[in-house]
Chains A and B, each alone.
Chain A
Amino acid sequence: MPSATASPTQTKRGSSNPFIAFCQSSIGKKIIVGVTGVYLIVFITGHLLGNLEIYLGQDHVNAYAQFLQGLGPILWLERAILIAAVVIHIVVTIQLAAENRAARPQKYAHYNYQAAKPSSRTMIYSGLLVLCFVIYHLLQFTFMTTNPEYRHLEDHLHRHDVYRMMILGFQQPIISLFYAAAIFFLAAHLSHGFSSVVQTLGINNQKVSGFVSNGGRWFSWLIFAGYVSIPVSILIGLIK
């Protein structure tokens, strides 16, 4: 074998600025993806809690929507952080994925997975599918580009009738089915993402690892159940 005592040669030098060096390192990038992931998990949980207000009736949903719109600069700050988190999460992941592909130029002819789960092996695809869904979701309910008629919905207090908008949207079985499929991919992404975040942020250890991976699965399927219960309730006429 070639000399094992060769001096440490660096093929690429890291930056001398500690912050840049951190952001360029593999673990630094993983931590960035993890931290933005945590923000997105918090957002997804908060968004679900907001959506579940549909079970409390029209007044609650519309009042909550009006409250959010009334936050003004705070709402825009939250939106700015959210957009930044999404962009950074995706850009840094693409960098990592490219590095990881380059690290294995010649694939195995016969690879036999021992531990990797479908959710962990499809993170990049589930993530991209969720991104496609988010774009459609914004066009449907936020910008109302796909359904301009939603803009004129008002309740008896002349507030924007978000409650009616949700019902009209999910009364279409195709839209609900597409929504459920998208939430399934989101849950798959979270199922691996949740435990990955704990591992990447350095909180995991041998005592808690079983709890963390089970917790991740439970969390993601609760998120799935919570989101999908809404179109199901609307389709079976529980919410009218």
Chain B
Amino acid sequence: MNFKLKVWRQQNENTAGQFRDYEAINIPAEASFLEMLDIVNEGLIARQEEPIAFDSDCREGICGMCSLVVNGIAHGPGKAKTTCQLYMRRFQDGETIWIEPFRAAAFPIVKDLIVDRSAFDRIIQAGGYITARTGSAPDANSIPIGKTVADLAMEAAACIGCGACAAACPNSSAMLFVAAKISHLGLLPQGQPERTSRVRNMVRTMDALGFGSCTNHYECEAVCPAEISATFISRLNRDYAVASIREGLAARG
């Protein structure tokens, strides 16, 4: 298969970027999107040109490292998958494909299609943990947790922190990510001691890092590789409101 690529090239955070045209020739239909870029890069390297910089690691949809906005969709067309799980057979032969980096003020561009997503690490550092000493792996079911709650917490815990939610959101909001993190800990008994401080600190760090706020378009949910439901954002809003009331009451007395 052959494709015409329009790829965002940018030297670093401080220089202006632009789209450059490339030809992807002789690409097997079973190649993944990242393998297609690898083939294009081999050609560029052979011609002594600068290869296209993009992120990847596990290439099996688990690590959350690959990014890319393909034809205007974070992680490209199709539901519940990362860019590395996108295959070229999904495209028409001869199709023009637009490839852009995840765009958000809080995700500065490192080079070409690579963005710095350490803003998410800062949000996690602000409260995405429990302080209980866990020691070695405890016995399963030593703390009984109802199935409904356990399932819901597990759904939220499926978040791989790739940042597609913030990339897809018209407001570059990270609320689906933060909602998943506060829900996965806040639903479980182990997460209760820090529930109030967690949501408060994570939301305020998210704001301080320059992410926008949710206007309920649900673009995030549509592109999330882990299919995290946007209704978790409603839980985030509720937990934040409750945490603010608790904080207010604590300050009074």
Contacts and interface: CB of A to CB of B under 8 A. Distances in A.
Interface of A: 1-14, 17-19, 21-22, 24-31, 96, 99-100, 102-117, 120-121, 123, 192, 195-196, 198-206, 209
A27 B234 contact: no
A204 B239 CA distance: 13
A25 B103 contact: no
Contacts of B237: 27, 30-31, 199-202
Interface residues of B, number: 65
B209 to A, nearest CB: 7
A204 B231 contact: yes
A17 B110 CA distance: 37
B233 A199 contact: yes
B180 interface: no
Nearest to A26: B213
B157 to A, nearest CB: 16
A195 B205 CA distance: 27
A3 to B, nearest CB: 7
Given A6-B121, A12-B208, 14 more contacts: A8-B126, A11-B209, A18-B251, A21-B204, A25-B203, A26-B213, A28-B240, A29-B213, A108-B72, A109-B19, A113-B217, A199-B216, A200-B237, A204-B234
Tell me the dominant secondary structure on chain A's binding face: loop
10 contacts: A1-B116, A1-B117, A8-B205, A21-B204, A25-B240, A27-B240, A99-B213, A121-B217, A200-B214, A206-B229
Nearest to B238: A202
Interface of B: 6, 8, 19, 69, 71-73, 98, 100, 103-106, 110, 114, 116-118, 121-122, 125-126, 168, 170-173, 175, 203-219, 221-223, 229-231, 233-241, 244, 247-248, 250-251
A199 B234 contact: yes
B203 A195 contact: no
Contacts of A13: 208
Contacts of A200: 214, 216, 234, 237
Contacts of B104: 103-104
Contact of B72 (A6, A12, A110): A110
A201 B76 CA distance: 32
Contacts of B172: 100, 103-104
Nearest to B97: A110
Contacts of A112: 71-73
Contact of A104 (B6, B170, B213, B241): B170
B121 A116 contact: no
Contact of B168 (A24, A106, A114): A114
Contacts of B125: 7-8
A214 to B, nearest CB: 15
Contacts of B170: 100, 104, 116, 121
B215 to A, nearest CB: 7
Given A27-B236, A114-B219, A116-B219, A22 B244 contact: yes
For the complex of A and B, 8 pairs with smallest distance between CB atoms:
A202-B238, A112-B72, A103-B212, A100-B171, A114-B222, A204-B234, A116-B217, A26-B213
